[in-house]
Amino acid sequence: MRNRKARLAGVAGALAVVAGLAVPAYAQAPAPATVAATVQRDAPTVYGRAAVLMDASSGEVLFSKHAGERMPIASLTKTMTAYLVLKTAKPSDMVQIKSADVAYAEDGGGTTADLRPGDRLPVGELLYGLMLPSGADAAHALARTYGPGVDGFVAKMNTTARELGMNDTHYVNADGLPTPKGDGYSTARDQAKLSAEALRNPLIEKVAGTARHSVDADGEHRSYSWRNTNRLLGTPGAIGLKTGFTRAAGYCLAFAGEHDGRRLVGVLLDESVSSRRFTTAEALLSWGATRQAA
């Protein structure tokens, strides 16, 4: 990982974006009142429907745009999957890939880590397949193993969300893909809380900040090579964290950065232009670092 003193030297840390839409018709919980945007005059322009920037240590919100509105979050869901798996599993624990894991991702039209049935991979390696290429096959394999069963795992995701104070979040699967019964939902604010907590785990921070990762073949599995979908990486001080996209959710991004030892986390939801979420996150991190230094 990059030197933390240098993090965000040029772009500087920014915090988690909090966002949301009204509760979908299928959602069980009642929709909260619409939260108006509270955007500072000197802040960067944010085109996404919802966003938040937050100090990861204090929880101070530096920027908020519809941060409490519920909406789909696509593959940002996988951050909770990684966080929950590591509450139970060791990085060295082995997970066997089954044909059902591969079929789930392919049938659902999700992005995959190109996992092969029969391979046995350590949890620590599967996390790269989960977070870098955003593998729905990896999410299914992990959820199936550590539920036990996908339904059991999703129930644990929702319990954990409540424990973290994510009271406007409801997960329906471990990957964020749409389902016939509807999508899950969250808010920019809730996802910022999760981002700050998840990045306290050194392995999640390492994985999220890795641009490319390869796994050599051995007696347990074939070789793999994964590239991170997060184009914010490489920006001075940027840490991660997770990209996401579905038609319902738009382009999403959970991001983080550090400047002078202070960490900012942010979330952008429902951006209409893929590349703009990264430039917006960079601008928010730089702006947030300037505010903290003032």
Q: Among all residues, which ones are annotated catalytic? A: 75, 78, 134
Alpha-carbon distance values, 263 to 39, 218, 279 (Å)? 21, 38, 18
The DSSP secondary-structure symbol of 37 reads P
- The DSSP string of 129-171 is HHHSS--HHHHHHHHHHHTTSHHHHHHHHHHHHHHTT-TT-B-
Residue 161 dihedral angles phi and psi, to the nearest 5°: -60, -45
- What are the start-end ranges of the H helices in 89-239? 99-107, 123-131, 136-146, 150-163, 188-198, 202-208
Q: How many helices (H) and strands (E) does the chain have?
A: 8, 9
C-alpha–C-alpha distance, residues 217 and 46, integer Å: 44
Cis amide prior to 148 (ω within 30 degrees): yes
What residues are paired with 262 via a beta bridge? 259
Torsion of CA 5, 10, 12, 17, to 10 degrees: -140
